[in-house]
Structure formats: C-alpha cells, structure tokens
Amino acid sequence: MDYETYEKECAKIKAQNQELLTAFRAYLEASRLSQKTVKKHLYNIDFYINEFLLYEELQQPEEGVRKLNYFFGYWFIRKAMWASVNSIKENIASLKKFYAFLEREGRLDPDHYLDMLEEVKESRQEWIEGLIAYDTGFSSADMW
C-alpha cells in the first residue's frame, strides 16, 4: 500500500477510534473514577490504539489484545520517552480496563480477554526488568 492510501486508512481508523474512546470515557466515568484518572486512561489508550497499533500496520483495537508483549517488551520502552516503571504499570491498568470494556461491549472474545490477563500476570515483571535494562544500557549479553 502506498503512503497516501495508508494515511487515508489511518484517518478512517482514527475516526472510529475516537468514537470508541468517547464510549470508553463514559464507561470510565460511570465507574466513578476521578477525572484525573479518566484522562490518564484515555491518554494511554489513545497512544496505544492510534500510535502503536497504526505504527507498522493498520490494526484495529481488538487486534491489540494480542500485542501487549511486543508493546511493553520492546516498542514502548524505545518509542515513548516517558517510559518508566510507573508508566508501564499505568498502561497495564489502562489496557486491562479498556479490554474489559471491549469484552463487555461484545467487541472482544472473552477468551482473548482472559488470555490477555494471563499474559499480563506472567510477563509484567519481565517488561519492567526489560525497561530497567534498556534504561541502564544493560543487556543479557553483558552477563556472559
């Protein structure tokens, strides 16, 4: 696909994503979260679905449920200048809420949501350690 077509398709997906973010905002506000927390979750999800999922190929938010390992284990720590242990934890919380919302709305298979939760549980510490290693310039190759 040429760049112009890619940009047009991105614009279409971003317009759909905006509608989804509006519905997600209402979902968060109905949960009685503070406005500060709602804004943080919306920012994190907007970055995930409109930057990360559209960076290399055109992907819908539902497809992103299977991309967390690549996002946290590689992409986020290299592309987001604000990546930190705290921001990883915040993004995990946002993504868990977002995919719970999609599952509740019938847009995500319940098994995919449960698989995502298991992946987060199993990989969270590895993602954090990967960030620390990246930030300090340490790699597993340095051990040998």
Q: Stretch 93-105: mean pLDDT, rounded? A: 98
Tokens of 71: 């996002």
* pTM of the entire predicted model: 0.91
Backbone angles phi, psi at 108, to 5 degrees: -140, 135
3-state percent breakdown (helix, strand, coil) of the chain, nearest 5: 80, 0, 20
Percent of the chain with pLDDT strictly greater than 70: 95
Of the candidates 52, 31, 16, 8, the one whose C-alpha atom is nearest the C-alpha of residue 97 is 31
